Amino acid sequence: MSYTLELPPLSLYIHYPWCVKKCPYCDFNSHDCNQRSGYIESLLEDLNEDLDYIQGRAIQSIFLGGGTPSLMSEQELFKLFTGLKKRLKFVNDIEITLETNPGIFEIEKFKLFKHIGINRLSIGVQSFNDRHLQSLGRIHNADEAIYACKQANQVGFKYFNIDIMYGLERQTLDECLSDVRQAMNLKPDHISFYQLTIEPNTYFAKYTPILPSDEVVWQMGDAGVSLLERNGYTRYEVSAFGKTPSKHNLNYWQFGDYVGIGAGAHGKITLLKESFPFRTIKARLPKDYLKNRQKQVNQIKNLNFDFMLNALRLKHGFNLRLFELRTRQPIQVIECQLNKAKALGLFELDGKLAKPSKKGFDFLNDLQAIFL
């Protein structure tokens, strides 16, 4: 069948694993700053080893995450982007996002980012309340966060995201909504609004702060979503609200391909000669990655669930044809699960357009588990 020969869009994820300080809630692959010499060279050698995965495709988006990739020096950034452009073809309207921390913000660096070709920033604000920032272990204060966002506008970043977290230690509903209003006042085109979760192997898992009740957290999420949508921020994914949706985010949720380079970076690749897509994982610890960039290549164990785990996060759903294109299987392989989800009122099907119902979006874990 024709869908077996079509390759998905391709993105690039670059992981920079160092931070000024590890936050107590963070379970990402991030580490306190230490010896970083040779990392850019390792990234480019890593990419060299994955070039066969490109298969003639142009890169539609790049995301530099971490860690805090804005810690890279001017020389490192120029070396990295010079190397990327030598090895890859970019689409004309490529989206290139850099995660940045207001605590290390410098206006000259924002200008540098734009000059290099980065056209979207993701600013890790989390809150505009100094008490909450302190409890989260952030190294910036509210004034610095506001200043960073204003400068992103002033430098000319048409596209930038502000991260806002809710359900914080002793946070009230009014404080949560105050954060959302302040974020909107700074006029980003995109806001990520998500609940603080206590992850295993974090400082907060060992020393859990006093969090609002489940009922209050639910009120925060519900009221925050309503406030954002009333002000033109369309909820296109569980925690993503965009006047302009992120291409990189959408590629993840639509089960596109991405090459992942850097310590602990994951990739998802489809090859014309293979039946099913697979995932790649690079060495997690920076010292191991710098010494030996061996990667794991793993078949996706439950392909149907993996697709639905991602696609069901899209509020407006997906075309059933997308399942066939991305998994290289007929839709009939999940027909029983689709019918069960519909019978439970968690799922809607309008012709070929499939999407979670309002109930399904509110109880997304239950909906996704049907396909496990």
Tens of pLDDT, residues 318-371 = 999 999 999 999 999 999 999 999 999 999 988 889 999 999 999 999 999 999
Instruction: Evaluate whether the domain defined by 302-372 bears CATH number 1.10.10.
Output: yes
* pLDDT value at 4 more than 70: no
181 class by beta-carbon count within 10 Å (0-12 exposed, 13-18 middle, 19+ buried): middle
pLDDT in tens, 47-74: 999 999 999 999 999 999 998 999 999 9
CATH of domain 2-251: 3.20.20.70
Minimal CA–CA distance to 318: which of 126, 327, 97, 59? Answer: 327
Amino acid at position 169, single letter: E
Pairing status of strand 240-242 against strand 190-195 = antiparallel
Q: Are 175 and 206 in contact (CB under 8 A)?
A: no
Pairing status of strand 278-282 against strand 295-299 = antiparallel
Q: Domain boundaries in the chain? A: 2-251, 302-372
Q: Are 89 and 112 in contact (CB under 8 A)?
A: no
Confidence band of 105 (pLDDT split at 50, 70, 90): low
pLDDT over 70 for what percent of the chain?
98
* pLDDT value at 264 more than 90: yes
Residues with Cβ within 8 Å of residue 85, at least 6 apart in sequence:
none
